[in-house]
Amino acid sequence: MPPIQPATKNWHAIALGVVGEGVISLDARGCIEYLNPSAERMTGWSSELATGAHVSQVLSLIGLREPPPEADAAALSAWFHSSADAHTTLRMRDGSQREVQIAVAVVVDGHGRPEGLVLGLRDLSQTAHLMRELARQASYDPLTGAFNREEFERRCRRLLADARAGGGPHALCVLDIDQFRLVNETCGHAAGDALLKEVVGALRSLLGDDDVLARLGDDAFGMLLPQMSAHRAMQVVQQAAGAIEHMRFGHGDRPFAVSCSAGVAPITAQARDIDEILVAAEAACQVAKESGRNRVHLFDAADAEVASRHGLMRWVPRLEAALEVGDFQLMYQDIVATAVGTPSGRHLEALICLPDASGRLTSPGVFLPAARRYGLMGRIDRWVTAQVCEWLHWRAGTGRTLPELVTINLSGSSLGDRQFRDFAEEQARVLPPGASFCFEITAGEAIANLDEAGEFIERMQRYGCRFALDDFGCGLASFAYLKRLPVDFVKIDGQFVKDAASEPVNRAMVEAVHRIAAVMGVRTIAEQIETRDVFECMRAIGVDYCQGYLFGELRPLLSLP
């Protein structure tokens, strides 16, 4: 604040000039002359009681040294400026504290000599409270009051750092509510929210002061158990699972049996990061679910079941990132007319590969099982379909010859998804003239979505699209359901094809599939053709098309001549 001339030395006018702030006027010796009502509330002193007292008696600032003895107005101004415009803690007369910010103005006489001070006090307590509340909200789940995932991961990092420094042991648990979706779908989200709150209450009653409980997802919770071995943590988590099982949750007059599945993993110094620990606990939790639910499973790297889930789950972040930035690479493999026996680029299957950190391509058989298990196939199918259609438009636009047919693999999740079926129809409707694609679905997934599959096939065939049943013949039901699905091709299961030249039963199976398909007007494709003997066997049987590494490795789709 600028110096105040004597003509304006009217304390009430000054107070009005800083409305909303506390105002304290001091004489040249630092004694109180006046406190406005806001300053009275902030300090706990009345103006009458404070008048004549030294400012250091009334304005007790924590952490600020005492003013110099016999200090004049100039020295006091310098003293206050040391905390001006900064957040300072003020101790009120009753001992309570509040956050304030101080502004200082020097009152000068007609010759410019200091003859007093005016202090402006801004109360920051409410702002500080709001900041603390915002910080609290940033760390807690608003529904349950448990920590949120971000805070959980922060605290997990602390425990990992402690383990690396020789501390511990520590353990981490991931816990899923088994019946949450049933409650949500039958009784609505309000009932689901109530269930989550009761679960948090039950878990908190079993955890110690240093333990951490967080909500990690819709019905997923995490627990950090410091200074606890994994085996001891298993006992605690089993008690927690028992407490949840004994809950009596009901909505209206409808009771629900509640249980949970949980996985426990140790926090060790050997872990690369907290993601590795979380994935380990989630893999153990998945094993608990698949073992019948209402179980607790301890992660063990030597456990084949856990290792399998662990391996699949490690692909999920990589697949999510690849979908986000389009990091997959489209490849193709020829589907060869058996009568010709050589690739022509006229009929091919589009496949995706995923580059690793060194640029080497990972085949789809490695990462697609993870995509199927963790619900990513629908997004992958959409990406591949869109990319193939875009490639066909690009090829037509550059005057290149279009292949007669491009086959795209389709998962059961997409087959049963109306939004995907609408999307596929939109793509097919605008294909360039002469372009066509074929959706390939496994026999098992087609049977599981029989009505949707039949409707989708008939709908897409109106645009010239074709359909193939993959892995055909792996179950006797395949033959019965073939009559109900108007497909154009059946791909004979490779387990029969690859040994058909040397195994009479396998050859007979291939012959049976081919004969039945021929009667129905459906063409056959034999997959996994890797040797000339097997190809000649397929030619002798009369199979229409062959596909496999005998005709070449996977090649980038953009390299098609």
In the prediction, which pLDDT does 476 show?
47
For the chain, what is the mean pLDDT?
81
In the prediction, which pLDDT does 22 show?
83
- The CATH number assigned to the domain holding 201 equals 3.30.70.270
Same domain, 176 and 308: yes
CA-CA distance, 549 to 212, in Å (whole number)?
53
CA-CA distance, 546 to 494, in Å (whole number)?
11
Q: Yes or no: say if 422 and 460 are a contact pair by the CB < 8 Å rule.
A: no
Same domain, 360 and 498: yes
Q: How far is CA 448 from the centre of its chain?
A: 29
CA-CA distance, 364 to 319, in Å (whole number)?
11
- The CATH number assigned to the domain holding 489 equals 3.20.20.450
Domain membership flag for residue 451: yes
**Rg, C-alpha atoms of the chain:** 37
Choose one of 129, 162, 184: the last residue of a domain. 129
Domain membership flag for residue 1: no
Backbone angles phi, psi at 31, to 5 degrees: -95, 150
Among candidate residues 261, 186, 247, 250, the one with its CA nearest the CA of residue 219 = 261
Reading the block at residue 165, the tokens are 């420094």
Same domain, 221 and 292: yes
Q: Which residues on adjacent β-strands are paired with residue 440?
A: 409, 468
Among candidate residues 235, 241, 238, 236, the one with its CA nearest the CA of residue 177 = 241
Same domain, 331 and 305: no
- The CATH number assigned to the domain holding 85 equals 3.30.450.20
Same domain, 419 and 520: yes
Same domain, 49 and 106: yes
Domain membership flag for residue 427: yes
Reading the block at residue 113, the tokens are 């000599």
Same domain, 509 and 446: yes
CA-CA distance, 420 to 481, in Å (whole number)?
23
Q: In the chain, count H helices and then E strands.
A: 23, 24
Choose one of 72, 100, 129: the last residue of a domain. 129
Domain membership flag for residue 444: yes
Backbone angles phi, psi at 489, to 5 degrees: -135, 150
CA-CA distance, 164 to 271, in Å (whole number)?
9
CA-CA distance, 189 to 183, in Å (whole number)?
8
Same domain, 276 and 191: yes
Q: How buried is 505 (Cβ within 10 angstroms: 0-12 exposed, 13-18 middle, 19+ buried)? A: exposed
Residue range 230-262, pLDDT digits in tens: 889 999 989 888 888 888 777 777 777 788 888
Reading the block at residue 460, the tokens are 């897409």
Same domain, 359 and 428: yes
Domain membership flag for residue 150: yes
Same domain, 501 and 461: yes
CA-CA distance, 26 to 102, in Å (whole number)?
14
Extract long-range pairs of 512-516: CB within 8 Å, 24+ residues apart. Answer: 512/473, 513/472, 513/473, 514/541, 514/542, 514/543, 516/479, 516/482
Distances (CA, A) of 138 to 64, 78, 131: 32, 39, 10
- Write out the residue range of the structural domain in which residue 441 sits: 317-559
Q: Yes or no: say if 4 and 18 are a contact pair by the CB < 8 Å rule.
A: no
Same domain, 273 and 186: yes
Q: Yes or no: say if 61 and 89 are a contact pair by the CB < 8 Å rule.
A: yes
**What domain count does the chain have?**
3
Domain membership flag for residue 135: no
In the prediction, which pLDDT does 109 show?
74
Q: Can you give the pLDDT of all 561 residues of the chain as single tens digits? A: 454 444 444 545 554 445 567 888 888 888 888 888 888 888 888 888 888 888 878 887 776 666 666 667 777 777 776 655 456 778 888 888 887 877 788 887 777 777 788 888 877 766 655 555 555 556 778 788 888 888 888 889 889 988 888 887 999 999 888 877 777 767 777 888 888 888 888 888 888 888 888 888 878 899 999 998 888 999 998 988 888 888 877 777 777 778 888 889 999 888 888 888 888 888 888 888 877 777 888 887 665 555 555 566 677 788 888 888 888 899 999 999 999 888 887 899 999 998 877 778 888 877 887 787 777 888 999 999 999 999 999 999 998 889 989 999 988 778 878 888 899 999 998 889 888 889 998 766 666 667 777 888 888 888 889 988 887 665 545 566 677 778 889 888 888 898 888 988 889 988 988 998 888 889 999 998 999 999 999 999 999 999 998 888 889 999 988
Choose one of 129, 154, 176: the last residue of a domain. 129
Q: What is the DSSP letter of 135?
A: H
Domain membership flag for residue 533: yes
Same domain, 184 and 217: yes
Query: What predicted TM-score, i.e. pTM, was given to this entire model?
Result: 0.54
Domain membership flag for residue 138: no
